[in-house]
Structure 1
Amino acid sequence: MDWLNAMNSAVEYMEANITEKLDIEKVAKIALSSTFHFQRMYHMITGVTVAEYIRRRRLTLAAQDIISGEKIINVAYKYGYETPEAFTKAFRKMHGISPSAARKPGIELKAYPKLSFQISIKGDKDMNYKIFDKGSFKVVGKQRKISMVDEQNFNQVPKFWYDCMEDGSHQWICSKAGKLGILGVSKDFDKYKDEFNYMIAVEEIKDTIPEGYVSAIIPAATWAAFESVGPVTEALHDLVRRIYTEWFPSTGYQHDCAPDIEVYPVGDMSAADYKCEIWIPIKK
Structure 2
Amino acid sequence: MIAALNGLVDLIEDQLTDEIDVAGLANSAGTTEYHLRRMFSSLAGMPLSEYIRRRRMSVAAADILGDGDLLGIAVRYGHGSAEAFGRAFRAVHGAGPGDVRRDGGPLRIQPQLRFRLTVEGNTTMDTRIADRPAFRLIGHAARVPLIHEGVNPHIQAHIAAMPAAEHGRLKELSNTEPAGLLQVSAEVDPDYTEGSELTYLHGVAVSNATPVPADLDEIEVGAGSWAVFRTAGPYPAALQSTWAATATDWFPSHPWRLRPGPSMVAVLDRAPDFSTATCELWLPVERA
- TM-score (norm. length: structure 1): 0.74
Aligned with 1:241 (options 244, 261, 272)? 244
2:257: which partner in 1? 255
Question: 1: CA distance between counterparts of 2:112 and 2:188?
Answer: 32
Q: 1:165 to 1:180 in 2, by over 3 A?
A: closer
Q: 1:272 to 1:39 in 2, by over 3 A?
A: farther
Question: 2: CA distance between counterparts of 1:217 and 1:115?
Answer: 36
Q: 1:263 to 1:188 in 2, by over 3 A?
A: closer
| Letter of the 2:230 counterpart | E
| Letter of the 1:226 counterpart | F
- TM-score (norm. length: structure 2): 0.73
Unaligned runs of 5+ in 1: 147-151, 190-194
2:12: which partner in 1? 14
Question: 2: CA distance between counterparts of 1:174 and 1:6?
Answer: 46
1:130: which partner in 2? 127
1:41 pairs with 2:39: yes
| Letter of the 2:248 counterpart | T
Q: Work out whether residues 227 and 277 of structure 1, in 8 Å CA contact, stay in contact via their aligned partners in 2.
A: yes
Task: Report SS of the residue matched to 2:245.
Answer: helix
| Letter of the 1:202 counterpart | V
Q: 1:102 to 1:196 in 2, by over 3 A?
A: closer
The count of aligned residue pairs is 266
Question: 2: CA distance between counterparts of 1:169 and 1:15?
Answer: 53
Question: 2: CA distance between counterparts of 1:55 and 1:109?
Answer: 14
1:65: which partner in 2? 63
Q: Give how far 1:273 is off.
A: 1.9
Written as runs of structure 1 = structure 2, the 5 A alignment for 1:214-225 is 214=218, 216-221=220-225, 223-225=226-228
Task: Report SS of the residue matched to 1:277.
Answer: strand
1:176 pairs with 2:180: no
Aligned with 2:118 (options 92, 109, 120)? 120
Q: Give how far 1:96 is off.
A: 2.9
Q: Work out whether residues 137 and 206 of structure 2, in 8 Å CA contact, stay in contact via their aligned partners in 1.
A: yes
Q: Give how far 1:277 is off.
A: 2.1
1:213 pairs with 2:217: yes
1:204 pairs with 2:206: yes
Identify, as 1 or 2, the structure richer in helix.
Answer: 1
Task: Report SS of the residue matched to 1:209.
Answer: coil
Question: 1: CA distance between counterparts of 2:165 and 2:112?
Answer: 45
Q: Give how far 1:242 is off.
A: 1.7
1:149: which partner in 2? none
* Deviation string, structure 1 residues 58-113 (Cα, Å, up to 9, x no partner): 11011011223222211112112232122223323322333123234764422101
Q: Aligned-pair RMSD on alpha carbons?
A: 3.9
Q: 1:264 to 1:133 in 2, by over 3 A?
A: closer
Q: Work out whether residues 10 and 31 of structure 1, in 8 Å CA contact, stay in contact via their aligned partners in 2.
A: no
After TM superposition, the structure 1 stretch with the greater mean CA deviation from structure 2, 28-37 or 162-171, is: 162-171
Unaligned runs of 5+ in 2: 190-196
Question: 1: CA distance between counterparts of 2:286 and 2:14?
Answer: 31
Percentage identity across paired residues of the two chains: 22
